[in-house]
């Protein structure tokens, strides 16, 4: 990835946006080693795609950002300030690249500081342009270790929050590569299909498009939601319901959805092959790229 544009937020200030948002060099060191992002993974984030200077599904990402912050007992993000920061970075990015992304991050702040959080919005481009169309991916199922209901029974496990503590997600992706695959679908310890480390799952089963429900402690997928909106508009049947592993392996086709990759077609899961529906995958990509909001 190539950092292009960086804005740092002053979360202790109030008043005019201009006073609270400051552009710095994208590769500058701006974090101390006592920032709780770096020492505890104690913060939340979102990544939005930016096309021609417009961040996609920004309001949905801001919704989820606030939801993650609440799950971590962080102060409620000042929504108008974060929107301003992302839109400002997006406008700058639009002059540099037709397609880029912004990651925005809120950490609990500096361990040695005044208790105000640390915030930033980084505009970046992938190092290499993605293949078009992207190659279908091979996926492995990995145990997430938690029962399907821990988000209800044990909220301190932070399931359903998009936190900076992603070491397990990164380790799962390394395990996938060790097994010759490119991605992961997590399964609860009691056998429910969950999500990928950085994606939401959609399976086509008996002609209907199905995604697992967020009460399983998974993230509400912003891209998945927009895919469902498109499918609904085209007269397709969509559903949110629990899937067992046999349900998933019995699907006709599967996609993993995320902001930066869109809807990625899955070629196999643990060796079980699926239909790769190139036509629908391309139509979904065009639909997502046309969101412009």
Q: Using CB under 8 A, list all residues that contact its own copies.
A: 1-3, 6, 27-43, 45, 72-73, 103, 105, 107-108, 111-112, 120, 122, 124, 142-147, 150, 153-158, 161, 163-172, 174-175, 189
Q: Which is nearer to its own copies, 61 or 287 (CB)?
A: 61
Q: How far is the CB of 240 from its own copies (least distance, A)?
A: 23
Using CA atoms, how far apart are residues 106 and 82, in angstroms rounded to an integer? Answer: 10
Q: Which is nearer to its own copies, 201 or 251 (CB)?
A: 201
Q: Which is nearer to its own copies, 172 or 243 (CB)?
A: 172
Asked whether 41 and 31 are in contact (CB, 8 A), the reply is no
Residue 9: how many other CB atoms lie within 10 Å? 25
Q: Is 248 strand, coil or helix?
A: helix
Using CA atoms, how far apart are residues 262 and 109, in angstroms rounded to an integer? Answer: 32
Residue partners of 6: CB distance under 8 A and separation at least 6: 23, 24, 25, 26, 28, 30, 89, 120, 121, 122, 123
Using CA atoms, how far apart are residues 24 and 63, in angstroms rounded to an integer? Answer: 26
Q: How far is the CB of 159 from its own copies (least distance, A)?
A: 8
Q: How far is the CB of 89 from its own copies (least distance, A)?
A: 12
Is the torsion defined by CA of 177, 179, 184, 189 positive or negative?
negative
Q: How far is the CB of 88 from its own copies (least distance, A)?
A: 16
Q: Which is nearer to its own copies, 10 or 277 (CB)?
A: 10
Q: How far is the CB of 204 from its own copies (least distance, A)?
A: 28
239 to each of 91, 139, 204, 228, 277, how far by Cα in Å? Answer: 36, 22, 10, 9, 19
Q: How far is the CB of 111 from its own copies (least distance, A)?
A: 5
The radius of gyration of the chain's CA atoms, rounded to the nearest angstrom, is: 19
Q: How far is the CB of 67 from its own copies (least distance, A)?
A: 15
The beta strand positions in 127-182, using DSSP E, are 137-143
Residue partners of 71: CB distance under 8 A and separation at least 6: 155, 158, 160, 161
Q: Which is nearer to its own copies, 128 or 167 (CB)?
A: 167
Q: Which is nearer to its own copies, 113 or 276 (CB)?
A: 113
Q: Which is nearer to its own copies, 9 or 20 (CB)?
A: 9
């Amino acid at each position: 990835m190539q950092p292009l544009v960086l804005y740092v937020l002053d979360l202790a200030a109030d008043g005019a946006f201009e006073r609270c948002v400051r552009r710095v060099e994208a590769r500058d060191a701006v974090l101390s080693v006592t920032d709780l992002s770096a020492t505890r993974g104690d913060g939340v984030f979102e990544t939005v795609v930016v096309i021609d200077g417009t961040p996609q599904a920004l309001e949905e990402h801001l919704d989820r950002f606030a939801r993650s912050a609440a799950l971590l007992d962080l102060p409620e993000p000042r929504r108008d300030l974060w929107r301003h920061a992302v839109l400002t970075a997006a406008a700058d990015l639009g002059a540099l690249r037709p397609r880029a992304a912004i990651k925005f991050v809120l950490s609990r702040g500096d361990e040695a500081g005044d208790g105000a959080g640390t915030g930033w919005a980084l505009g970046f481009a992938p190092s290499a342009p993605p293949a078009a169309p992207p190659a279908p991916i091979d996926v492995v199922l990995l145990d997430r270790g938690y029962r399907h209901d821990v988000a209800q029974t044990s909220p301190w496990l932070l399931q359903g929050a998009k936190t900076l503590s992603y070491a397990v997600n990164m380790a799962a992706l390394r395990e996938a590569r060790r097994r010759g695959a490119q991605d992961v679908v997590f399964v609860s310890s009691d056998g429910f299909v969950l999500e990928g480390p950085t994606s939401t799952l959609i399976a086509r089963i008996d002609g209907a498009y199905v995604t697992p429900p967020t009460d399983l402690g998974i993230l509400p997928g912003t891209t998945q939601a927009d895919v469902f909106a498109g499918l609904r508009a085209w007269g397709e049947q969509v559903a949110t319901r629990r899937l067992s592993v046999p349900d998933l392996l019995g699907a006709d086709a599967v996609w993993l959805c995320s902001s930066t990759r869109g809807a990625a077609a899955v070629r196999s899961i643990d060796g079980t092959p699926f239909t790769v529906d190139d036509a629908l995958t391309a139509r979904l990509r065009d639909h997502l790229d046309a969101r412009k909001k």
